[in-house]
Amino acid sequence: MRAEKFRNLVDSKTNIDDRMCPPSIEAQKALSILIHHFLGENWYVVSPMHTEQVNVEAVYEILQKYPMWRDKKEKLKEKLINFINRL
């Protein structure tokens, strides 16, 4: 989902003229949007788990799939050191 579509979705649920702050959204709905965005619309869990357990699986997969830049930088540095040591 693009940011503009998300904003339109949230704005459609509230009166834009009457708010001073961004509108709210339920936490589960927000997490579902992020799961759909990062893991794809076909992602699902086969096991009969409770919603909170599925959330844990989804967050774990997102963190594995999209590691922090620092982690990528450290891995690249390690590969470079190993490459230099093999020369």
pLDDT tens column, 2-50: 888 888 877 776 665 666 777 778 899 999 999 999 999 899 999 999 9
Residues 37-65, mean pLDDT to the nearest whole number: 92
Give the chain's domain count.
Answer: 1
Residues 73, 69, 36, 28, CA torsion sign: positive
Question: How far is CA 74 from each of CA 60, 63, 81, rounded to the nearest angstrom?
Answer: 20, 16, 11
Residues 43-63, mean pLDDT to the nearest whole number: 92
Please give the model's pTM, rounded to 2 decimal places.
Answer: 0.64
Question: Which range of residues forms the domain containing residue 32?
Answer: 3-86
Q: What is the 3-state secondary structure (H, E, C) of 12-65?
A: HCCCHHHCCCCCCCCHHHHHHHHHHHHHCCCCCCCCCCCHHHHHHHHHHHHHHH
